[in-house]
Every structure is written in C-alpha cells, then in structure tokens.
Amino acid sequence: MSYLENNTLSLLILLPVAGALVVALIPRERETLQKTAALLFSGLVFWFALGLIRGFTASPAMQFVERKAWIPAYGVSYHVGVDGLSLWLVALTALLTPLALLASWSSIDARIKEFNVFMLLCEAGLIGVFCALDLLLFYVFWEATLIPMYFLIGIWGHERRIYAAIKFFIFTMTGSVLMLVALLVLYKAGGQSSFDLTSLQRVEIDPALQMWLFAAFALAFAVKVPLFPLHTWLPDAHVEAPTAGSVILAGVLLKMGAYGFLRLAIPLFPHAAARFAPWIGALAVVGIIYGALVCLVQTDLKKLIAYSSIAHMGFVMLGIASFTTIGVVGAVYQMLNHGIATGALFIIAGMLHDRRDTREISEFGGLGGVMPWFSALFLLVGLASIAVPGFGGFVGEILILVGSWPKSPALTIIAVLGIVLAAGYMLWMIERVLHGPVKHASNSCLRDLTAREAFVLVPLVVLTIFMGVASPLFTRKITPTVNILVHKVSMETRSPSGDAR
C-alpha cells in the first residue's frame, strides 16, 4: 500500500492509459464490456483522486512529489507533484471523466471502443498537465491532450465536426509552438542543464527577454483559456464536439490555460507578468461582456453554453490578473465551479439532443411540465452557472471581484455588469426551454430523467451547492500556495531590478 501512496500521481496518470489498453484489447463486438471497463478505470482514478485530497495537507509545499530521470542527457525528468493550484483540478478531471462517459453511455453508438480509448487517453494527458513540474514534461502532456480531443471532436461530433476539429488543433498547436520556442530559449538561458521548473525559476532573466518569453507563454495559454480575441476556436469546438467531448473541453481543457498562467508564466516571469497584468485584466473583462452579449442572441443551446464559458473564463483571468491572494484563490475556485456547472450544462444539452435530435432553443418550451425532475435539475444547474448565492460560483465570483477591486475598480464594475447580463441570458434561456406551453407536439411525451442520467447530474448539483456553503473546505487547501505566488510577484515588482528600465 505504501507503494501506492508514494506513487499516487503516477497511478493517476497511468491508470487511464492502462484502461485505454485494456479497452483496446476487448473484442470489437463486446461494446458493453468496453464501456464498463472504461467506466471502471475512470472510476478507479476518481477513487485514488479522493485519496489524494484526503492525503493533501494545507501547506504551500509540493506534495506527492515523484522524480525520476527521463532523458538525463538533456536534463529532462519525470517530475510530478501537486499543490494548492493543481490538487482540485486533478480531482475535477477525475470526477468529470467518468461522468462524461456515463452521460454518453447510449448516445455514442459508433466505434465505441475508440471513443472510450480516446476519452481515457485524454484523461491521462490532462492529469499529467496538472501534475507536471518539468517544463518539457508539461509540454509533452499539454500536446498529448490535443490528439485524443481532436479525434473525439472529429469522429463523434456533429455536422461541422471536421472543420471544428482542425481549427481546434491548429489554434492550440500554434500557441503551443510559441511556448516551445520560449521554453527552449529559457532552457538556454538556464545553462542548458535542466528543464525542471524549480531550477528554471531561479534563472535570472534579462527584463526585456522576460517580456518576450512571457508573451510567448501567455499567448499559448490565452488561446486555451480562451482570452478574447483568441476565442474563435471555442464555439466551434464546443458546439461540434459530442457531449462527453464538450464536458471535458469546457470542464477541464480550458482550465489548462489558466493553470498554465499560474504554474508557469507567472512564477517564471513575475516581472513581466506584473507589467502585462492590466492588459490581461482588460481583455478578460472584454471577454466577460462580449461573451455575455453574444449569449443573448444565441438560438443554439450548446452555442449559448459555449459563449458563456468565454465570459466565465474571463472572470478567472480577471482574478489571476489581480495578483491579490483573494483574487487568485477566487480564480482557482471559480475554475472548479465553472468546470462543474458548465460540464453539467453540456450534459443537459446532450440529454435534450438525445431526445429531440436538435439543439435549437426554439424547438423546446414547456418542458417543465413534461420532465419535472429534469427541469428542476436544469434550473439548479443554470442558477449555479450564473453564480447565485448558495452555489459555488457565487463564492468564486465574489472572491474575484473583491480581489480585483483594489487593483482596478473600473474593470471590477464592468465585470459586475457581466454578472447581470449572465442572469439575463441564462434565465431567458431557461424560460424559453422549461416554461410556457408545450409548443411542439414531439415535446409532449419526452421521457424524464432515467436512473443513469440522474446518477450523472445529481452528484454535480449536490457538489455545486456543497461548494457554495462549505467553500473553506476547498479554499483552505488553495490559499497557502497562492500566498507564496502572490508574494513572489509583489516582491519582484518592488525590487530594484524590477524597475531597471
């Protein structure tokens, strides 16, 4: 057992890979067995992730650290660990993957084997990204998530899936090659001896070069978040992806970008980060307002949820750009809330699509009477998404706003406007779908939630309420790490070398 405890993170990364291999070896006809195996493995990953949370102590230190030489001649090591920034994101990945698999249990009806293989590989890559403490390892995992997601969108997506898949791939890859160049320049500046994050953090970098390197990293991460105006891949990818793909995309993949800022771009180049912060904050707020406004005119359910993600991730970036402990903690917390609420929204959109084969909001109406249980959960998830008090999102957004107020009141006020708009588009959408008379005959006999669907949705709803009332349980483990990070940035901007120019 102690071996497991010492290698929990490797287990979390390798278990999905093992699962993918097992699924790949199951004969093609045994589809239920393939689905069960994939669910079992991802469930097992979640079980170990729970152990990870239990074993994690609220301190700023890296925990569950493992380190093995990978390419010693080149200074690359397999170095993984979790701290307050990554712990909950690992848990989020481990939670959403089995739920996404379960949500697509019957809606994926072709090439089931490959679907499950790619889902598991994607999970492994995502957990790897959040655990990696070696820059090259990080890059490897970062890119490794790209391939399974590309296939998930391209094979099982909707009508324009191929366009969306290629667009997603090229956007992300362009961003990440810039990161690779910056990474190699940094490696050279560090004496070409190590890709390790801790040793590269100690490298003294010329302020002018720092700006360039930060810009390259930031661009890669901003594409992923996505920060306005680099968001154009997102609506296509999220809308065209199958339900499980959308859940993982919105729930976890977007967080890779924000996490990249916190884990790499800011600690490596604190000086440049402080200089760029007002711009990032401004773009984040533009994203909040733009996303919300676009949501108001959507007629497609999934598109609305996709654009709302841009707005929500704008809040996350606003919190990060504030560089206050409260703001950054709020950003990390908001990532979890957004992952759960938006994941649930995409699952709900998927359930409607399964029943009616359409995503048009105008095709629905009056579902409240037809599917009472479904509608109740839909309403709760919608409220969670727009940060109504009592749900986790409220805590996250309040923390972000409180944190960003002292830095820039103007941006904060505009962001609050975004919350109002969010209430507008979400409640209006809910009204059009759930309330009023049943307009289409085909809606009058829709089946309410099945046991499987309830098993997917209820935990997410319960969790988001729990996160709204018991937030200290979560933030307690986030804060110590964030304190160190914020301290580092403020030291850097105050130190004389920071004002060299």
Partner 1 sequence: MTIDFRPALPALIVALTGVVALVIDAFTPRAGRSRTQSVCLTGLAAALLVTFSLPVRIGCPACSPLTGGSVVSDTWSVALQALVLVVGMLALPLSTAYFRAIDQDRGEQNALIMFAIAGMLGLVSSVELISLFISLEIMSVALYALTGSRRARSDSQEAALKYFVTGAFSSAFFLYGVAWLYGVSGGTTFDRIASTLASPLGGNVGCALLASGFLLVGFGFKIAAVPFHSWAPDAYQGAPTSVTAFMSTAVKVAAFGALTRVFHGALFPLADRWIPLLAALAVLTMIVGNVSALAQRDLKRMLAYSSVAHAGYVMTALVSQPPQAAAAVFIYLVAYSVTNLGAFGVLAVLAKDGKEPLTLADISGMARRRPFLSAAMAVFLVSLTGVPLTAGFIGKLRVFAAAISADHAVLALVGLLMSAVSAYYYLRVVVAMYMEPPQDEDRWANVTGAAGLVIALCALAVLMLGVFPERLFAWAQTAAQTFR
What sign results for the dihedral spanned by CA atoms 84, 88, 93, 94? Answer: positive
CB of 18 to partner 1, least distance (A): 15
CB nearer partner 1, residue 180 or residue 203: 180
CA atoms of 314 and 483, how far apart (whole Å): 22
Which spans of this chain sit near partner 1 (rule: CB under 8 A)? 70-74, 136, 139-140, 143-144, 146-147, 150-151, 154-155, 161-162, 165-166, 169-170, 173-174, 177-178, 180-181, 184-185, 187-188, 192
Could you give the C-alpha distances from 470 to 87, 439, 466, 474, in angstroms and in order? 17, 41, 6, 8
Burial class, 201, CB count within 10 angstroms (exposed 0-12 / middle 13-18 / buried 19+): middle
Q: Which amino acid is at 413?
A: I
CB of 75 to partner 1, least distance (A): 11
CB of 191 to partner 1, least distance (A): 11
CB nearer partner 1, residue 264 or residue 456: 264
Q: Which amino acid is at 405?
A: W
Question: For the packed helices 135-144 and 146-156, what is the interaxial angle rounded to 10 degrees?
Answer: 10
SS3 66: strand
CB 155 within 8 A of CB 108: no
Burial class, 409, CB count within 10 angstroms (exposed 0-12 / middle 13-18 / buried 19+): exposed
CB nearer partner 1, residue 192 or residue 450: 192
CB nearer partner 1, residue 132 or residue 311: 132
CB 333 within 8 A of CB 474: yes
CB of 139 to partner 1, least distance (A): 7
CB nearer partner 1, residue 220 or residue 430: 220
**For residue 104, what is the enclosing H or E element?**
none
Q: How many C-alpha atoms does 441 have within 13 Å on its Cβ side?
A: 0
CB of 187 to partner 1, least distance (A): 7
CB nearer partner 1, residue 177 or residue 473: 177
Structure tokens at 64: 């569950």
CB 231 within 8 A of CB 171: no
CB of 137 to partner 1, least distance (A): 9
Question: Among 351, 170, 154, 307, which Cα is nearest to 241's?
Answer: 154
CB 116 within 8 A of CB 35: yes
SS3 132: strand
CB of 76 to partner 1, least distance (A): 9
CB nearer partner 1, residue 239 or residue 456: 239
CB nearer partner 1, residue 172 or residue 479: 172
Structure tokens at 276: 């760029």
CB nearer partner 1, residue 155 or residue 218: 155
Q: Which amino acid is at 172?
A: T
CB of 120 to partner 1, least distance (A): 15
CB nearer partner 1, residue 175 or residue 403: 175
Map tokens 């409180």 to a residue: 402
Question: For the packed helices 8-25 and 112-131, what is the interaxial angle rounded to 10 degrees?
Answer: 170
CB nearer partner 1, residue 139 or residue 374: 139
CA atoms of 317 and 351, how far apart (whole Å): 31
Hey, which residues does 66 pair with through a beta bridge? 80
Which one-letter DSSP state was computed for residue 279?
A: H
Other C-beta atoms lying within 10 Å of the C-beta of residue 295: 24
CB nearer partner 1, residue 73 or residue 441: 73
CB of 340 to partner 1, least distance (A): 29
CB of 74 to partner 1, least distance (A): 6
CB of 317 to partner 1, least distance (A): 24
CB of 288 to partner 1, least distance (A): 29
CA atoms of 29 and 148, how far apart (whole Å): 22
CB of 147 to partner 1, least distance (A): 6
CB nearer partner 1, residue 146 or residue 402: 146
What sign results for the dihedral spanned by CA atoms 256, 142, 99, 473? Answer: negative
What string of DSSP letters covers 293-347?
Answer: HHHHT--BHHHHHHHHHHHHHHHHHHHHHH-SHHHHHHHHHHHHHHHHHHHHHHH
